[in-house]
Amino acid sequence: MSKRLLPSLALMLALVSAAAVPALGQILHDLTERTVLLAPSETVVAGKRATLTTTSSVVEAPFNGVVIQGYADDPNVKGWIRFEERGGWGAWQPMRLIRSATDGTFAGGYRDEIYRSGQRFELRFEFTAGTSFHLVGAGVFDNRNDEDRQAAGGIVPRYGKKTGHIIPPPLITRAEWGAAPFRGTPSPLAPNGYEYMTFHHAAGYSATTKEEGIRQVKAIQDLHQNVRGWSDIGYQFLIDRGGHLYQGRPFLDDATSLEEVPALALGAHVGGHNTGNIGVSLLGCYHPPEGSFCQEVITPEALETYIVLFAFLSERYGVEPELIRGHRDFSSTACPGDNNYVLLPSLREDVAQMLLTGNAPLGQAVLAASVDAVGVVRLAWEVVADNGIAGFRLVRVIDGTPEIIYESQAALPDLIADEGVRRPG
């Protein structure tokens, strides 16, 4: 071999493991029907570029799409896929890779209208040499039987109650976060009634600020529409770590806020159990067994939004708090993550309590009291926060016995004299 060629092309072969490893990423469980074993990967470094390739096991069941999940420091990582054919391999096809806005997590894949079975596929990734790259795994799907592909068929949407005591969280609408259009015609979520509210996590795509949240919600919609082939983002609602609430699927009427109690559209978040099921996803990853990137715990702000949203949905759409579920209650997945799933019993209790007390802010007043020589108590106050006060009641308690001394639906007078307690003699 010519000495001139030796320094111009440096090759490095690296086997990641000695045996095939299963794909374990939660995104794969949520978007695919089955995960696929991948052979040990091989990485070749040529100059500043590294190329990783790996081959799947034979996929016996029919499939027309592949989803992959990974982590890459290089924001410009690219991926391709090709499929086994008689006598060899087909041409390389570019994969769509969708990167998290806040870290190196990415997901993506490839979908066409060819339904294959008894075939393998090969993956190839290119990224900057010397940077971290980890392929979590791959899975496949056959989208012909997706609930999301079924026509609405003239089903009449079911509306919620227009009145209640729970004030819903502010909603960042699809128009505000710049959603891509729904593909097709949305179907009603609950033609026969609302049945469940389901807690999800995004298994990545973490966000705290509204700006981060908008970018992540758009990334998830991109993944759901352009890789998985769904008509839209799968969830009805999403919540970021700052407690901001985002509209997922479009409403079936002209509503622009939750106060209008909109008619909800069928989602794609729990395979086989989407009808009547309201899906709410928490941005971020909350399942420590998944790895170091999945250690998050819910923030107080996000938990408060969950409680208020679930209480509002329960009151207006008739889903009892005990019917709050985690995604894993319906299918084989780690979602919503161990760190969230353990919260469900207390979450149900908090929602039930809010249904009893409401969440309207209380009125506030500065109170002053004086007692004259014969024991008449004079009460005066200044209301500093009205917050929609509809009535007043003053209660005197002596030796544990309460007695109403003043009650009115009108404005409270500036001064009240209580002559019910006087000094003897």
pLDDT tens for the chain, 425 residues long, are 443 333 333 333 333 332 232 324 578 888 999 999 999 999 999 999 999 999 999 999 999 999 999 999 999 999 999 999 988 999 999 999 999 999 898 999 999 999 999 999 999 999 999 999 999 899 999 999 787 766 555 566 777 888 899 999 999 999 999 999 999 999 999 888 899 999 999 998 999 999 999 999 999 999 999 999 999 999 999 999 999 999 999 999 989 999 999 999 999 999 889 999 999 999 999 999 888 888 999 999 999 999 999 999 999 999 999 999 999 999 888 999 999 999 999 999 999 999 999 988 766 777 787 887 777 787 777 777 766 666 777 777 878 788 887 777 766 666 777 776 665 54
Specify the fold of 26-141. Immunoglobulin-like (2.60.40)
Q: Six-digit token pair at 12?
A: 């490095």
| Structural domain boundaries in the chain | 26-141, 171-357, 363-418
Fill in the DSSP letter of residue 188: B
Q: What's the pLDDT at 6?
A: 33
What does pTM read for this prediction?
0.82
Residues 172, 262: contact at Cβ < 8 Å?
A: no
| CA distances from residue 206 to 212, 219, 228, 406 in whole angstroms, order as listed | 8, 11, 20, 53
Specify the fold of 171-357. Lysozyme-like (3.40.80)
Task: Tell me how far apart the alpha carbons of residues 2 and 366 are, in angstroms, rounded to a whole number.
Answer: 92
**Cα angle: 104, vertex 340, 159; to 5 degrees:** 100
Displacement of CA 64 from its chain's centroid (Å): 26
Nearest to 204 by CA among 150, 256, 136: 136
DSSP 19-57: S-B----HHHHHH-SEEE-BPPPEEEEETTEEEEEEEBP
DSSP H/E element including 216:
helix 210-222
Residue whose pair of structure tokens reads 């407690």 in the numeric block: 243
Task: Tell me how far apart the alpha carbons of residues 347 and 343 are, in angstroms, rounded to a whole number.
Answer: 6
